Structure 1
Amino acid sequence: MLSATVMLERPGLPRVALARMALLEAIDELGSISAAARRVDLSYKGAWDAVQALNNLFDSPLVEAAPGGRAGGAARLTSRGRAAVAAFRRVQAEMDAALSKLDQGLGSDVFWSLGMKTSARNALRGRIIRVATGSVNTEVTLRLADGLDIVAVVTARSVEDLGLAEGAAAIALIKSSFVVLAKGEGLRTSARNQIEGVVQSREDGAVMSEVRLDIGGGKTLAASITLESAETLELAPGDRVTALVKAPHVILAVE
């Protein structure tokens, strides 16, 4: 008998697969990300990364959670999260029904590709609120959430090719190495994007540190900085910092 597992992709975004839906269902049942991670055989960090990626991809968070370490913190699905799981399961059910028909001799060559892959650590979905056209480059402002905007500078040709216009949906792709972190008020910098956030986690390696920020609206932003910089800034969970991102370093993608 034919069988398949649904895996949805969009240009520039991580895959939404059965494993992530299983994680959401486990969170809904157990009320804990750490417990859900054990249920679906994921590491605690892997589960947190999956939750944060899913929250970034939707217009509102799928999971509301408070970090609690490996012992577990409270977590629950939002109404948007439950709706997403239900929709995914409906797609799976319809796919199973279609495969059942194929298995009965209606055909078996069904293939599709819905997207591309990206190495960018940050993929943030939003809606374009402003397009300022120049002779060579164009400044595009993307609203990620209420009070949370990000500006990208792209070529006029890209605006035309991608169909970038006010009201259209788009995804901002930002490499974590392009995110500069700073502490303090009254900063004067040439970076077009100055995003206020709170340190959610810090993971140190031998040379580099990955710092994840809660930037509001259910969105997170990852920054890769040197371990020396992280120690100099004394970054720790709960600290308020500013993420600086140059507008030309923001890549835009559309569905």
Structure 2
Amino acid sequence: MSKASSPIKLEGLSKPRGKRWDHLELLERIDSSGSISAAATAMGMSYKAAWQAVESINNLSREPVVIRQPGGSTGGGTCLTEYGRRMVATYRRLEQAWAAVPSVIGDMMDDFDQYYSMSRRFDMQTSARNQFLGTVKAVKKGAVNAEVIVDIGNAAELAAIITNDSADHLALESGSEVFALVKAQWIILTTDTNLKTSARNTLTGTVVRCQEGAVNAEVVIELPGGKTVASIITNESVKTLNLKEGVKASALIKASHIILAVPS
């Protein structure tokens, strides 16, 4: 932010703590080791918890923060994008400058507003496994309900059906920043790209993780651009669909199963 810009609003700013700094350390360790597994081990985290944290960070960012590197003689790995490194550096500079708040923060870096805005997104607590940051493209109201089209980036959209009252309460309009939340249990998976269904939304990508439990499995699909969508299905369904890493699959989501939220 330049000095000529409007001052940063610091209402509600509290010293970062808890999960946010766990996420920050995880990103730093991934960047230094080139491996999520090594970073998780160093932090005493499970590999699954580390991947879920990374997926959440990427889904709540307008640009990828962590990307997978292709395999080869070195076996591939994981690294931070330039955007991710700048975000980490911003957090660390904020930590160092905390004693001087608010006089120093406005001069820290030109794009502080962008990264501070992103930091606020990690304050949201929800049980929904899938959380996407997006921008409202259109709000089409009917007699009772409204269809809200949300752009989640990389040519991917989600259509949500909510009541008109909810649309008014959230003050949704074209250009509004919004979160789209979807529980993993509500997502149907298919490997048939020609399948016709009543589900309003289809997100297609590649399976990057398939972890079976006693009865159910968590299947994670990576979308073009790096965002991910996680689904909980039965182990039997995994076998029937032959789901495994590298398989192309689609996530089907009913418009009524998408919950919209806005920053407070």
* TM-score in same-fold range (> 0.5): yes
Report what 1:225 is aligned to.
Answer: 233
SS in 1 for 2:244: coil
Deviation of 1:133 (Å): 1.3
CA contact (8 A) 1:5 1:18 kept: no
Contact 1:34/1:44 (CA < 8 Å) preserved in 2?
A: yes
In the alignment, is residue 122 of structure 1 matched against residue 130 of structure 2?
yes
Partner-residue secondary structure (3-state), 1:186: coil
Distance between the aligned counterparts of 1:250 and 1:131, measured in 2?
15
Equivalent of residue 138 in structure 1, options 146, 160, 173: 146
Instruction: Tell me how far apart the structure 2 counterparts of residues 6 and 72 of structure 1 sit (CA, whole Å).
Output: 35
Q: Decide whether the 8 Å contact of 2:204 with 2:250 is kept in 1.
A: yes
Contact 2:66 2:79 in 1 (8 A): yes
TM-score between the two structures when normalised by the length of structure 2: 0.80
Describe the SS at the equivalent of 2:28: helix
- TM-score using structure 1 length: 0.83
Describe how 1:1-255 pairs up with structure 2 within 5 A.
6-7=16-17, 17-66=20-69, 73-97=76-100, 115-255=123-263
Counterpart contact for 1:173–1:251, Cα < 8 Å? yes
Q: In structure 2, how many angstroms separate the alpha carbons of the residues matched to 1:185 and 1:28?
A: 36
Q: CA RMSD in A?
A: 2.2
| Greater relative contact order, per chain length (Cα 8 Å cut-off, separation 6+) | 1
- Partner SS for 2:97: helix
Please tell me whether the aligned partners of residues 180 and 245 of structure 1 are also in contact (alpha carbons under 8 angstroms).
yes
CA contact (8 A) 1:20 1:50 kept: yes
Q: Which amino acid aligns with 1:57?
A: L
In structure 2, the gaps of 5 or more residues are 1-13, 102-119
Could you tell me how far apart the structure 2 residues matched to 1:49 and 1:229 are? 22
Paired with 1:23 and 1:141, the residues of 2 have a C-alpha distance of: 33
**Residue identity opposite 2:66 in structure 1:** V
2: CA distance, partners of 1:55 / 1:16: 15
Q: Which runs of 5+ in 1 are unaligned?
A: 8-14, 99-112
CA distance in 1, matches of 2:79, 2:236: 36
Q: Aligned letter for 1:217?
A: G
Task: Report the CA distance between 1:93 and its aligned residue.
Answer: 2.3
- Counting aligned pairs with the same residue, the percent is 41
- Counterpart contact for 2:69–2:79, Cα < 8 Å: no
After TM superposition, what 4+ stretches of structure 1 lie above 4 angstroms from structure 2? 113-116
Shift of 1:74: 1.7
Question: Deviations 1:26-49 (Å, cap 9, x if unpaired)?
Answer: 122222222222232222222222
